[in-house]
Amino acid sequence: MKKATTCVHAGNNNHNPAHGLNTPVYTSSAFGYLDTQENIYPRYYNTPNQEVVVQKLCALEQGEAGLLFGSGMAAISTAMLALLQAGDHVILQRDLYGGTHHFVTTELERVGISYTLVEEPTVDQLEVAVQPTTKLVYIETPSNPLLKITDVAAVGSWAQQHKLISVIDNTFASPINQNPIPLGVDVVLHSGTKYLGGHSDLCFGAVITSQSLRDRIYATAINLGGSINAATCALIERSLKTLSLRVAQQNRNAQAIAEFLQQHPAVNQVHYPGLADHPGHETAKQQMQGFGGMLSFEPRVDGSDGAERLMRQLKIITPAISLGGIESLVCAPAKTSHIKLSAEERRLVGVSDELLRISVGIEDTEDLVEDLQQALV
Protein backbone atom coordinates (compact mmCIF):
# COMPACT_ATOMS: atom_id res chain seq x y z
CA MET A 1 0.00 0.00 0.00
CA LYS A 2 1.12 3.55 -0.77
CA LYS A 3 1.00 6.11 2.02
CA ALA A 4 -2.39 7.65 1.26
CA THR A 5 -3.95 4.18 1.36
CA THR A 6 -1.97 3.25 4.46
CA CYS A 7 -3.32 6.34 6.24
CA VAL A 8 -6.88 5.27 5.54
CA HIS A 9 -6.68 1.50 5.96
CA ALA A 10 -3.67 0.29 7.97
CA GLY A 11 -4.46 -1.20 11.37
CA ASN A 12 -8.20 -0.63 11.16
CA ASN A 13 -9.98 -2.67 13.79
CA ASN A 14 -13.52 -2.77 12.45
CA HIS A 15 -14.32 -6.32 13.49
CA ASN A 16 -17.10 -5.14 15.74
CA PRO A 17 -20.44 -6.88 16.17
CA ALA A 18 -22.47 -4.07 14.55
CA HIS A 19 -20.22 -3.99 11.45
CA GLY A 20 -19.42 -0.31 11.85
CA LEU A 21 -16.53 0.83 9.64
CA ASN A 22 -14.68 2.57 12.42
CA THR A 23 -12.81 1.14 15.36
CA PRO A 24 -15.08 1.04 18.42
CA VAL A 25 -13.84 3.19 21.29
CA TYR A 26 -13.03 0.80 24.11
CA THR A 27 -13.70 3.10 27.04
CA SER A 28 -12.64 0.52 29.65
CA SER A 29 -9.62 0.79 31.87
CA ALA A 30 -10.55 -2.60 33.35
CA PHE A 31 -10.43 -5.68 31.10
CA GLY A 32 -11.28 -9.29 31.85
CA TYR A 33 -8.16 -11.46 32.02
CA LEU A 34 -9.25 -15.10 32.28
CA ASP A 35 -9.65 -15.60 28.53
CA THR A 36 -7.03 -13.20 27.14
CA GLN A 37 -3.45 -13.99 26.16
CA GLU A 38 -2.07 -10.96 27.94
CA ASN A 39 -3.40 -8.64 30.61
CA ILE A 40 -4.85 -5.56 28.96
CA TYR A 41 -4.54 -2.20 30.71
CA PRO A 42 -4.01 1.38 29.45
CA ARG A 43 -0.61 1.72 31.13
CA TYR A 44 0.49 -1.56 29.56
CA TYR A 45 0.13 0.26 26.23
CA ASN A 46 -1.96 -2.58 24.81
CA THR A 47 -5.62 -1.50 24.67
CA PRO A 48 -7.29 -2.04 21.27
CA ASN A 49 -7.42 1.70 20.52
CA GLN A 50 -3.75 2.17 21.33
CA GLU A 51 -2.86 -0.79 19.12
CA VAL A 52 -4.77 0.48 16.06
CA VAL A 53 -2.92 3.79 16.13
CA VAL A 54 0.45 2.10 16.69
CA GLN A 55 -0.18 -0.22 13.72
CA LYS A 56 -1.01 2.71 11.45
CA LEU A 57 2.13 4.57 12.54
CA CYS A 58 4.30 1.46 12.14
CA ALA A 59 2.95 0.97 8.62
CA LEU A 60 3.63 4.64 7.79
CA GLU A 61 7.16 4.65 9.26
CA GLN A 62 8.03 1.09 8.14
CA GLY A 63 8.80 0.13 11.74
CA GLU A 64 8.08 -3.17 13.48
CA ALA A 65 6.59 -1.91 16.72
CA GLY A 66 5.75 1.21 18.66
CA LEU A 67 4.29 2.90 21.69
CA LEU A 68 1.96 5.86 22.14
CA PHE A 69 2.44 8.45 24.87
CA GLY A 70 0.53 11.35 26.41
CA SER A 71 2.86 13.94 24.84
CA GLY A 72 5.86 14.18 22.56
CA MET A 73 8.05 14.87 25.58
CA ALA A 74 6.76 11.72 27.31
CA ALA A 75 7.86 9.72 24.25
CA ILE A 76 11.25 11.46 24.09
CA SER A 77 12.05 11.31 27.82
CA THR A 78 10.86 7.71 28.20
CA ALA A 79 12.88 6.54 25.19
CA MET A 80 16.07 8.22 26.40
CA LEU A 81 15.71 7.08 30.02
CA ALA A 82 14.96 3.55 28.84
CA LEU A 83 17.89 3.27 26.45
CA LEU A 84 20.51 4.97 28.67
CA GLN A 85 21.82 4.38 32.15
CA ALA A 86 24.21 5.99 34.63
CA GLY A 87 27.69 6.19 33.14
CA ASP A 88 26.47 6.38 29.55
CA HIS A 89 27.16 9.26 27.18
CA VAL A 90 24.85 10.57 24.45
CA ILE A 91 25.51 12.85 21.47
CA LEU A 92 22.79 15.27 20.33
CA GLN A 93 22.68 18.16 17.92
CA ARG A 94 22.67 21.62 19.50
CA ASP A 95 19.57 23.02 17.81
CA LEU A 96 17.07 20.68 19.38
CA TYR A 97 13.41 21.34 20.00
CA GLY A 98 13.33 23.59 23.11
CA GLY A 99 11.61 21.05 25.35
CA THR A 100 14.09 18.33 24.41
CA HIS A 101 17.01 20.71 25.01
CA HIS A 102 15.55 21.51 28.44
CA PHE A 103 15.06 17.82 29.28
CA VAL A 104 18.61 16.95 28.26
CA THR A 105 20.24 19.85 30.10
CA THR A 106 18.20 19.54 33.33
CA GLU A 107 17.58 15.79 33.76
CA LEU A 108 20.32 13.65 32.21
CA GLU A 109 23.26 14.62 34.40
CA ARG A 110 21.11 14.18 37.53
CA VAL A 111 20.86 10.48 36.71
CA GLY A 112 24.51 10.13 35.74
CA ILE A 113 24.17 10.38 31.94
CA SER A 114 26.60 12.76 30.24
CA TYR A 115 26.02 14.40 26.88
CA THR A 116 27.71 16.38 24.13
CA LEU A 117 25.84 18.85 21.92
CA VAL A 118 27.41 19.08 18.46
CA GLU A 119 26.85 22.13 16.24
CA GLU A 120 25.87 19.95 13.29
CA PRO A 121 25.64 16.16 13.37
CA THR A 122 27.99 15.53 10.46
CA VAL A 123 30.13 12.39 10.56
CA ASP A 124 33.22 14.57 11.21
CA GLN A 125 31.66 16.24 14.24
CA LEU A 126 30.25 12.95 15.52
CA GLU A 127 33.74 11.39 15.31
CA VAL A 128 35.10 14.21 17.48
CA ALA A 129 32.28 13.86 20.02
CA VAL A 130 32.17 10.06 20.37
CA GLN A 131 33.53 8.57 23.62
CA PRO A 132 34.04 4.98 24.82
CA THR A 133 30.84 5.33 26.89
CA THR A 134 28.70 6.77 24.08
CA LYS A 135 25.51 4.73 23.61
CA LEU A 136 23.17 6.88 21.56
CA VAL A 137 23.10 9.62 18.92
CA TYR A 138 20.05 11.87 18.60
CA ILE A 139 19.09 14.12 15.68
CA GLU A 140 16.24 16.30 14.39
CA THR A 141 15.86 17.14 10.72
CA PRO A 142 14.57 19.53 9.40
CA SER A 143 15.58 21.50 12.49
CA ASN A 144 13.71 24.23 14.32
CA PRO A 145 13.54 27.09 13.35
CA LEU A 146 16.16 27.34 10.58
CA LEU A 147 15.18 24.12 8.75
CA LYS A 148 18.75 22.81 8.69
CA ILE A 149 19.04 19.39 7.09
CA THR A 150 21.04 16.47 8.49
CA ASP A 151 22.03 13.52 6.30
CA VAL A 152 19.90 10.84 7.99
CA ALA A 153 21.47 7.82 6.25
CA ALA A 154 24.98 9.06 7.09
CA VAL A 155 24.13 9.34 10.80
CA GLY A 156 22.37 5.95 10.73
CA SER A 157 25.31 4.11 9.21
CA TRP A 158 27.85 5.94 11.37
CA ALA A 159 25.89 4.86 14.45
CA GLN A 160 25.76 1.26 13.19
CA GLN A 161 29.55 1.22 12.69
CA HIS A 162 30.04 2.41 16.26
CA LYS A 163 27.31 0.09 17.62
CA LEU A 164 25.30 3.04 18.91
CA ILE A 165 21.53 3.44 18.92
CA SER A 166 20.43 6.19 16.52
CA VAL A 167 17.33 8.21 17.38
CA ILE A 168 15.53 10.85 15.31
CA ASP A 169 12.75 13.28 16.16
CA ASN A 170 10.77 13.10 12.90
CA THR A 171 8.06 15.56 13.98
CA PHE A 172 8.84 18.34 11.47
CA ALA A 173 8.89 16.05 8.43
CA SER A 174 5.99 13.75 9.41
CA PRO A 175 5.99 10.14 8.16
CA ILE A 176 4.59 11.36 4.84
CA ASN A 177 7.74 13.33 3.98
CA GLN A 178 10.49 11.29 5.64
CA ASN A 179 10.96 7.69 6.81
CA PRO A 180 14.19 7.38 8.80
CA ILE A 181 13.95 3.63 9.58
CA PRO A 182 14.58 2.47 5.98
CA LEU A 183 17.42 5.03 5.94
CA GLY A 184 19.09 3.10 8.79
CA VAL A 185 17.93 4.92 11.94
CA ASP A 186 16.85 2.77 14.89
CA VAL A 187 14.23 4.83 16.72
CA VAL A 188 11.74 7.37 15.33
CA LEU A 189 10.04 9.79 17.72
CA HIS A 190 7.08 12.04 17.04
CA SER A 191 5.32 14.83 18.80
CA GLY A 192 1.92 13.74 17.51
CA THR A 193 0.60 17.03 18.85
CA LYS A 194 1.81 18.52 15.55
CA TYR A 195 1.25 16.92 12.11
CA LEU A 196 -0.12 13.53 13.20
CA GLY A 197 -2.95 15.11 15.19
CA GLY A 198 -2.97 17.98 12.74
CA HIS A 199 -5.89 20.01 14.05
CA SER A 200 -4.25 21.76 17.03
CA ASP A 201 -6.53 19.90 19.44
CA LEU A 202 -4.60 16.80 20.58
CA CYS A 203 -1.47 16.21 22.61
CA PHE A 204 0.41 12.92 22.23
CA GLY A 205 3.71 11.35 21.29
CA ALA A 206 4.90 8.19 19.59
CA VAL A 207 7.92 5.91 19.37
CA ILE A 208 8.32 3.65 16.31
CA THR A 209 11.21 1.20 16.18
CA SER A 210 12.21 -2.49 16.03
CA GLN A 211 10.46 -5.08 18.21
CA SER A 212 13.56 -5.50 20.39
CA LEU A 213 14.09 -1.79 21.06
CA ARG A 214 10.37 -1.35 21.60
CA ASP A 215 10.55 -4.03 24.28
CA ARG A 216 13.45 -2.25 25.99
CA ILE A 217 11.59 1.07 25.94
CA TYR A 218 8.40 -0.65 27.09
CA ALA A 219 10.10 -1.98 30.24
CA THR A 220 10.69 1.62 31.37
CA ALA A 221 7.46 3.00 29.88
CA ILE A 222 5.27 0.91 32.20
CA ASN A 223 7.17 2.43 35.15
CA LEU A 224 7.04 6.02 33.94
CA GLY A 225 3.39 5.63 32.94
CA GLY A 226 3.00 8.22 30.20
CA SER A 227 0.20 6.35 28.41
CA ILE A 228 -2.86 7.69 26.63
CA ASN A 229 -6.60 7.00 26.84
CA ALA A 230 -8.92 5.43 24.27
CA ALA A 231 -10.91 8.57 23.42
CA THR A 232 -7.73 10.38 22.40
CA CYS A 233 -6.61 7.32 20.42
CA ALA A 234 -9.87 7.38 18.46
CA LEU A 235 -9.31 11.03 17.56
CA ILE A 236 -5.72 10.28 16.54
CA GLU A 237 -6.92 7.40 14.37
CA ARG A 238 -9.36 9.73 12.60
CA SER A 239 -6.68 12.39 12.15
CA LEU A 240 -4.23 9.92 10.64
CA LYS A 241 -6.69 9.00 7.90
CA THR A 242 -6.22 12.47 6.37
CA LEU A 243 -2.52 12.88 7.19
CA SER A 244 -1.25 12.38 3.66
CA LEU A 245 -3.84 14.78 2.16
CA ARG A 246 -3.02 17.45 4.71
CA VAL A 247 0.74 17.15 4.36
CA ALA A 248 0.55 17.20 0.57
CA GLN A 249 -1.28 20.55 0.69
CA GLN A 250 1.08 21.87 3.37
CA ASN A 251 4.06 20.95 1.18
CA ARG A 252 2.53 22.74 -1.81
CA ASN A 253 1.62 25.84 0.19
CA ALA A 254 5.02 26.07 1.89
CA GLN A 255 6.86 25.81 -1.44
CA ALA A 256 4.69 28.57 -2.93
CA ILE A 257 5.13 30.82 0.12
CA ALA A 258 8.90 30.23 0.23
CA GLU A 259 9.22 31.13 -3.46
CA PHE A 260 7.05 34.22 -2.99
CA LEU A 261 9.03 35.42 0.03
CA GLN A 262 12.35 34.75 -1.65
CA GLN A 263 11.68 37.22 -4.45
CA HIS A 264 10.08 39.85 -2.18
CA PRO A 265 12.16 43.03 -1.71
CA ALA A 266 11.08 43.33 1.95
CA VAL A 267 12.53 39.90 2.83
CA ASN A 268 16.22 39.34 3.52
CA GLN A 269 16.38 35.56 3.73
CA VAL A 270 14.13 32.51 3.49
CA HIS A 271 14.90 29.17 5.14
CA TYR A 272 13.10 26.33 3.36
CA PRO A 273 14.68 23.05 2.18
CA GLY A 274 12.55 23.11 -0.97
CA LEU A 275 14.45 26.17 -2.27
CA ALA A 276 17.32 25.30 -4.61
CA ASP A 277 19.74 27.61 -2.77
CA HIS A 278 19.01 26.14 0.69
CA PRO A 279 22.27 24.53 1.91
CA GLY A 280 20.44 21.26 2.68
CA HIS A 281 18.41 21.15 -0.54
CA GLU A 282 20.29 18.29 -2.23
CA THR A 283 20.30 16.11 0.91
CA ALA A 284 16.63 16.87 1.52
CA LYS A 285 15.85 15.84 -2.07
CA GLN A 286 17.57 12.49 -1.41
CA GLN A 287 15.89 11.64 1.87
CA MET A 288 12.52 13.42 1.84
CA GLN A 289 9.45 12.78 -0.29
CA GLY A 290 8.28 16.35 0.32
CA PHE A 291 9.99 19.38 1.83
CA GLY A 292 7.42 19.94 4.56
CA GLY A 293 5.16 22.68 5.83
CA MET A 294 7.64 24.54 8.03
CA LEU A 295 9.65 27.58 6.90
CA SER A 296 11.22 30.66 8.42
CA PHE A 297 12.27 34.02 7.01
CA GLU A 298 13.89 37.32 7.91
CA PRO A 299 11.67 40.24 6.96
CA ARG A 300 13.35 43.61 6.46
CA VAL A 301 11.92 45.09 9.67
CA ASP A 302 13.44 46.62 12.78
CA GLY A 303 13.94 44.15 15.63
CA SER A 304 11.33 42.29 17.63
CA ASP A 305 8.90 45.21 17.48
CA GLY A 306 9.06 45.32 13.70
CA ALA A 307 8.52 41.56 13.53
CA GLU A 308 5.52 41.86 15.84
CA ARG A 309 4.03 44.71 13.78
CA LEU A 310 4.31 42.53 10.70
CA MET A 311 2.60 39.59 12.44
CA ARG A 312 -0.24 41.88 13.52
CA GLN A 313 -0.81 42.91 9.89
CA LEU A 314 -1.56 39.30 8.89
CA LYS A 315 -5.24 38.46 8.54
CA ILE A 316 -5.23 34.69 7.95
CA ILE A 317 -1.86 33.50 9.22
CA THR A 318 -2.32 33.56 13.00
CA PRO A 319 0.36 34.45 15.55
CA ALA A 320 0.40 31.37 17.78
CA ILE A 321 2.79 28.81 19.25
CA SER A 322 2.87 25.17 18.10
CA LEU A 323 2.76 23.86 14.55
CA GLY A 324 1.57 21.17 12.19
CA GLY A 325 -2.13 22.01 12.21
CA ILE A 326 -4.50 22.72 9.36
CA GLU A 327 -4.35 26.48 10.04
CA SER A 328 -1.29 28.58 9.18
CA LEU A 329 0.53 29.93 12.23
CA VAL A 330 3.38 32.39 12.62
CA CYS A 331 5.69 33.05 15.56
CA ALA A 332 8.93 34.84 16.38
CA PRO A 333 11.33 32.18 17.73
CA ALA A 334 13.30 34.87 19.63
CA LYS A 335 10.15 35.48 21.72
CA THR A 336 8.88 31.88 21.87
CA SER A 337 11.00 28.73 21.44
CA HIS A 338 14.30 30.57 22.02
CA ILE A 339 13.22 33.12 24.64
CA LYS A 340 15.30 31.43 27.36
CA LEU A 341 18.53 31.94 25.41
CA SER A 342 20.55 35.13 25.86
CA ALA A 343 20.72 37.53 22.92
CA GLU A 344 24.31 36.32 22.33
CA GLU A 345 23.27 32.64 22.39
CA ARG A 346 20.49 33.39 19.92
CA ARG A 347 22.97 35.14 17.65
CA LEU A 348 25.21 32.05 17.81
CA VAL A 349 22.42 29.69 16.76
CA GLY A 350 21.30 32.10 14.04
CA VAL A 351 17.97 33.18 15.52
CA SER A 352 17.64 36.93 14.93
CA ASP A 353 15.01 39.15 16.58
CA GLU A 354 13.39 39.58 13.16
CA LEU A 355 13.17 35.87 12.28
CA LEU A 356 9.61 34.63 11.76
CA ARG A 357 8.64 30.96 11.53
CA ILE A 358 5.54 29.88 9.67
CA SER A 359 3.76 26.58 10.14
CA VAL A 360 1.91 26.42 6.85
CA GLY A 361 -1.65 25.10 6.94
CA ILE A 362 -3.98 23.66 4.33
CA GLU A 363 -5.70 26.91 3.30
CA ASP A 364 -5.85 28.06 -0.32
CA THR A 365 -2.35 28.84 -1.60
CA GLU A 366 -3.27 32.18 -3.14
CA ASP A 367 -5.01 33.39 0.02
CA LEU A 368 -1.88 32.71 2.07
CA VAL A 369 0.45 34.42 -0.42
CA GLU A 370 -1.89 37.42 -0.63
CA ASP A 371 -1.99 37.64 3.15
CA LEU A 372 1.79 37.91 3.28
CA GLN A 373 1.80 40.29 0.30
CA GLN A 374 -0.55 42.77 1.99
CA ALA A 375 1.34 42.53 5.32
CA LEU A 376 4.80 43.03 3.81
CA VAL A 377 4.11 46.38 2.08
Ligand X SMILES: *Cc1c(COP(=O)(O)O)cnc(C)c1O
Query: In this complex, which beta carbon is closest to ligand X, that of residue 75 or of residue 258?
Result: 75
Q: How far is the CB of 243 from ligand X (least distance, A)?
A: 16
Report how far residue 305's alpha carbon sits from residue 316's, in angstroms, rounded to the nearest whole number. Answer: 20
Ranked by CB distance to ligand X, the top (closest) residue is: 72
User: Which is closer to ligand X, CB of 194 or CB of 271?
Assistant: 194
CB of 71 to ligand X, least distance (A): 3
Which of these is catalytic: 56, 194, 214, 246? 194
Catalytic residue among 45, 56, 95, 97: 97
* Least distance (Å) between residue 204 CB and ligand X: 7
3-state secondary structure (DSSP) of residue 138: strand
Beta partners for residue 139, in sequence order: 168
**Which member of 169, 186, 353, 371 is catalytic?**
169
| Residue 348 contacts residue 355 (beta carbons within 8 Å) | no
166 within 8 A of 159, measured Cβ to Cβ:
yes
Rank residues 169 and 237 by Cβ distance to ligand X and give the closer one. Answer: 169
- Taking the alpha carbons at both ends of the chain, their separation in whole angstroms is 47
Catalytic site includes residue 214: no
Question: DSSP string covering 324-360, please?
Answer: -SSS-EEE-GGGTTTTTS-HHHHHHHT--TT-EEEE-
Q: Does residue 43 have an active-site annotation?
A: yes
Of 43, 94, 241, 285, the catalytic one is 43
In the complex, least distance from residue 162 CB atom to ligand X, rounded to whole angstroms:
25
Nearer to ligand X, 40 or 332 (CB): 332
How many beta carbons lie within 10 A of that of residue 122, not counting itself?
16
35 is catalytic: no
Order of strands across the sheet that contains 267-271? 267-271, 294-299, 356-359, 329-331, 318-319
Q: Which residues form the interface with ligand X (CB under 6 A)?
A: 71-73, 97, 99-100, 140, 144, 169, 171-172, 191, 193-194, 203, 205
Instruction: Say whether 3 is catalytic.
Output: no
Residues that are catalytic? 43, 97, 169, 194
